[in-house]
């Protein structure tokens, strides 16, 4: 039995997308999320949960993004998991919602794990979702 670490096997298993930090472009990230999850043969409800989680993470980041910022999204694909990291430059003094907030409850309910970091004027939310019934 192979133990999977959640890390991509090669650089070919990583997809980077950068879009303007504007809600009108989130559809691009939702579509990419669904396409990559489908490639991993996630169930339809797992795909929808992940799309909602990515949308919620992006909404949290858009609320603290600098004007004219770009939303950077990194998708790392493994045999049975998809990790999505969304990063944005933030306005001075901005903070992400507390882990007890409704937004975090949504993220943790819809993914295997969710975490956030904020440093050097940038905030990142990382989501890991493993396919149910995986290896």
Residue-level pLDDT at 132: 83
Structural tokens at position 75: 């998708």
Which runs of consecutive H residues, i.e. helices, occur in the chain? 26-39, 44-62, 102-110
State the Cα–Cα distance between residues 37 and 25, nearest whole angstrom: 19
State the Cα–Cα distance between residues 5 and 48, nearest whole angstrom: 24
Residue-level pLDDT at 1: 29
Structural domain includes residue 85:
yes
For the domain that residue 81 is a member of, what is the CATH number?
3.30.565.10
Contact 81, 128 (CB under 8 A): yes
Residue-level pLDDT at 53: 96
Residue-level pLDDT at 30: 94
State the Cα–Cα distance between residues 14 and 123, nearest whole angstrom: 20
Structural domain includes residue 122:
yes
pTM score? 0.86
The domain in which residue 97 lies consists of 13-130
Structural domain includes residue 3:
no
How many domains does the chain fold into? 1
Span 20-60, pLDDT tens digits: 999 999 999 999 999 999 999 999 999 999 999 999 999 99
More confident residue, 135 or 57: 57
Structural domain includes residue 20:
yes
- DSSP, res 67: T
Q: At what angle do helices 44-62 and 102-110 cross, to 10 degrees?
A: 150
């Amino acid at each position: 039995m192979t133990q999977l670490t959640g890390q991509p096997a090669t650089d070919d298993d990583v997809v980077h997308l950068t879009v303007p930090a504007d809600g009108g472009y989130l559809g691009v990230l939702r579509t990419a999320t669904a396409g990559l999850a489908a490639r991993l043969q996630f169930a339809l409800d797992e795909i929808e949960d992940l799309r909602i989680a990515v949308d919620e993470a992006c909404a949290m980041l858009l609320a603290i993004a600098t004007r004219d910022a770009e939303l950077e999204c990194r998708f790392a694909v493994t045999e049975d998991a998809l990790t999505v990291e969304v990063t944005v430059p933030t306005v001075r003094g901005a903070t992400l919602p507390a882990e007890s907030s409704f937004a975090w409850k949504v993220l943790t309910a819809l993914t295997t794990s969710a975490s956030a970091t904020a440093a050097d004027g940038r905030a990142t939310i990382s989501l890991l979702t493993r396919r149910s019934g995986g290896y």
